[in-house]
Chain A
Amino acid sequence: MAKTKRTIQQSPSIGSIKRSDARLVVRSVHVTPRADSWVVVKPGQVTQTFTSKGEAVTFAKSLARDPGGRILIHERNGKIVDEHERAPSAQKRRH
């Protein structure tokens, strides 16, 4: 599967959150730091703590919907990295 990675920029203005942005963050699996650990959160469903970031990301990938699963990694420096697994495009048929 093709994988894309991008950093989410700051929301343009408070008070005007787009529904698409809200949907994106609610449906994503989040990997977020907590003191000495990393927590994986699927909003409304799962919250699990791990000692290492690698384990947390692996677990998050198993939770993200396939294809098109989305993982948001909240880095300790404040950046949000969006890892998006894209399904391969269908091959064109030749007649």
Chain B
Amino acid sequence: MAKSSTNTSARRRPKSAGTRSARAATRRYGLSVFVNCPFDDQYREILWAIVFAIHDCGFIARSALEISDSGEVRIEKIRRLIGACRFGLHDLSRTELDREHGLPRFNMPLELGLFLGAKWFGAPAQRRKVALVLDRDRYRYQKYCSDIAGQDIAAHGDDPKRAVGEVRDWLAAAHRETLIPGGNKMWERYQRFKNDLPILCAAIHLDPADLTFSDHTTFVATWQNDNP
């Protein structure tokens, strides 16, 4: 009996644009880190160091600061970002009384709560979320947020170099298939980037002090791409 010839190429279904975009979204979700940190002048040095470390580990730093649409309610922005990020970095070191009003600043703990809620009650993809909680001192949180006792909290002591090391160790544990340089090496690279940044800003007539979160991450990503 002669075999009937089959056209195998006809059996293969072309990948739909929907499948491709779903895969791209899943991949992006797995690389995105929600950065829940203060944005005041005193903290900025630590924030930029953390953003550099996140990108140097091969991940993407996301923040509510990247969207400037004043027409959108802020909590909605945060909800969408948390949903789009598998990783969340939450710095509680500024959970303290505001000097002007005498009231505590609670945005960071609130967003940590939203992130943990998504992890516990969300869809299967959301349950894979991983959080890093940072504070100034390791056990300070027990005085103002004892509900999260037992969480693995890292301390940076207000030192950007220590913050880089903690972020690096956290993401390296999550990204085991890729070797990531150590914290000291990453800090050296960050110093080189910091030295170059004023010149890069001057070349397009920008003041480094005026850089927004999006501007800074654009420079970080571009610099790291050209200096692997």
A residues neighboring B (CB under 8 Å): 8-11, 14-17, 19, 21-23, 25-28, 30, 32, 41, 43-45, 47, 72, 74, 80
Contact = CB atoms under 8 A, between A and B. Distances in A.
A26 B222 contact: yes
A17 B215 contact: yes
Given A19-B218, A23-B222, A43 B202 contact: no
Contacts, number: 74
Interface stretch (B81-89, B160-168, B205-213): B205-213
B219 A17 contact: yes
A25 B226 contact: no
A95 B223 CA distance: 46
B203 A41 contact: no
Contact of B203 (A8, A14, A44, A47): A8
Contacts of A10: 204-205
Contact of A72 (B68, B203, B226): B203
Q: How large is the interface on B (under 10, 10 to 19, 20 to 34, 35 or more residues)?
A: 20 to 34
B199 interface: yes
A11 B218 CA distance: 14
A68 to B, nearest CB: 15
B222 A47 contact: no
Contacts of B223: 26, 43-44
Contacts of B68: 15
A59 B193 CA distance: 22
Given A16-B214, A43-B223, A26 B200 contact: yes
A23 B227 CA distance: 12
B16 interface: no
A23 B193 CA distance: 14
A26 B202 contact: no
B195 A47 contact: yes
A88 to B, nearest CB: 26
Contacts of A41: 196, 199
Contacts of B20: none
A22 B222 contact: yes
A90 B155 CA distance: 59
Contacts of B192: 44
